[in-house]
Copies of this chain bind each other. A is one copy, B any other.
């Protein structure tokens, strides 16, 4: 039976780890702070006292931590993952980090003789609970196939995007599209409302044609409820668009619409909405146009 170590029990990581447990894997977890480990311990799931010990016991080690610095730390610290690695282990890096950080982590793991899969996920807490995250896997085909059952416990579908780094690039691709679409929705709603259209009617129309999608349905409902509690905050979307534009500059793809979208998220941050859900990108535009999309 495959033993899966899971490091990082945050809002996303916790339900992902439970899904591994539900799928019948032998699971061992680790979190930097112990409070998030407690429910697992109470349910009889193994808890390791360091990344090193977790790694030594695991066939596959999943990392789901906050950012690239956290990935580097959990690998390189004393009693870190690298200390416990050998050639029988595969590290599956699932945190959303930069391309360069992915490649650096992959190199450290390779130097330790182990295998590496780059597997960020697309989706928020809901899909994490339901096991329907979109898994974006980058790595050698054989390695990705070996860990596919592990990924499939958390993700549906699992898409093999190419070699190491291509999972990260796919994540940038999808978040670039997401940020553009979100701000397009914001511009359209403010334009329509200023023209005298009702939010409910605009939502109905969008939900009835070629643009009918979970994003517009969900954000439309949230805006109607004046609910900007963050599923994915303005700050993160801004960061992802900035990363995408930086990479687009490096590889020679001019993206003028995406650049405009990034500045809209920058405006939302500048106006103090960085911590709110990315739907708050419409707020500076409402202020500018002196209209509220969800009034009656």
Residues in A lying within 8 Å of B, measured CB to CB: 122-123, 127, 134, 136, 157, 159-162, 166, 169-170, 172-174, 176-178, 180-181, 183-185, 187-188, 190-192, 194-198, 201-202, 204-206, 208-216, 218, 238, 242, 244, 246-249, 251-264, 266-267, 269-271, 284-285, 288-291
Q: B263 and A255: CB pair below 8 A?
A: yes
Find A253's partner among B190, B209, B284 (CB 8 Å cutoff). B190
Find A205's partner among B159, B211, B212 (CB 8 Å cutoff). B159
Find A176's partner among B188, B209, B213 (CB 8 Å cutoff). B188
In the complex, which residue of chain B has the Cβ closest to the Cβ of A122? B209
Give the distance in Å from the alpha carbon of A197 to the alpha carbon of B177 in the complex: 15
Q: B177 and A184: CB pair below 8 A?
A: yes
Q: A191 and B157: CB pair below 8 A?
A: no
Tell me, rounded to whole Å, the shortest Cβ–Cβ distance linking A23 to chain B: 19
List, sorted by A's number, 26 A–B pairs whose CB atoms are closer than 8 Å.
A122-B205, A134-B205, A157-B208, A161-B198, A162-B197, A166-B196, A166-B197, A169-B192, A170-B202, A176-B188, A177-B185, A178-B211, A180-B180, A180-B257, A184-B184, A184-B257, A184-B258, A191-B258, A210-B215, A212-B214, A251-B289, A252-B270, A253-B288, A254-B285, A256-B259, A257-B260
In the complex, which residue of chain B has the Cβ closest to the Cβ of A218? B210
Find A191's partner among B191, B198, B210, B244 (CB 8 Å cutoff). B244
Given contacts A208-B157, A215-B211, contact A202 B184 (CB under 8 A): no
Q: A254 and B238: CB pair below 8 A?
A: no
Find A178's partner among B201, B210, B263, B285 (CB 8 Å cutoff). B210
* Residues of B close to A215: CB separation below 8 A: 210-211
Q: A191 and B242: CB pair below 8 A?
A: no
Give the distance in Å from the alpha carbon of A162 to the alpha carbon of B193 in the complex: 12
Q: B187 and A202: CB pair below 8 A?
A: no
In the complex, which residue of chain B has the Cβ closest to the Cβ of A268? B254
* Residues of B close to A206: CB separation below 8 A: 174, 177
* Residues of B close to A244: CB separation below 8 A: 191
* Residues of B close to A204: CB separation below 8 A: 157, 159
Give the distance in Å from the alpha carbon of A126 to the alpha carbon of B127 in the complex: 33
